[in-house]
Amino acid sequence: MIITGHTVEELKDPTGILSGNRYEVLLSIEVPEDDELYSEHGLYIKAIYVQDQDNSRVVQSQIIERNTEAILDFELEEDEESLILKYCKESIIS
């Protein structure tokens, strides 16, 4: 999996209950044709990324087919989750 781009929107907590900054991150991805995730329509990942002082984490993610907006029923592998977290840490400025 290769991340080719992203868009970010900061999510506001109107209640003030949640700590840290939350972001909805849409990651454009490419996967090889021989990967079980591959779709000819293209894919993106919708992730909720949290920055809380020295702790950053991805609390939710979904793999979505680009043209149909169908949510695919696949779990990300550990290395893919690590790649997304690293990308978010490097790309999102608080």
Each domain of the chain, given as residue ranges in start order, spans 2-91
Per-residue model confidence as pLDDT tens digits over 46-93: 999 999 887 899 999 999 999 999 999 988 999 999 999 999 999 886
Give the number of C-alpha atoms closer than 13 A to the C-alpha of residue 91, restricted to the C-beta side: 19
Residue 54: beta bridge partners?
none
Q: What is this structure's pTM?
A: 0.89
Q: Rounded CA gap, 25 and 85, in Å?
A: 11
- In 3D space, the residue among 64, 58, 50, 44 whose CA is nearest the CA of residue 20 turns out to be 50
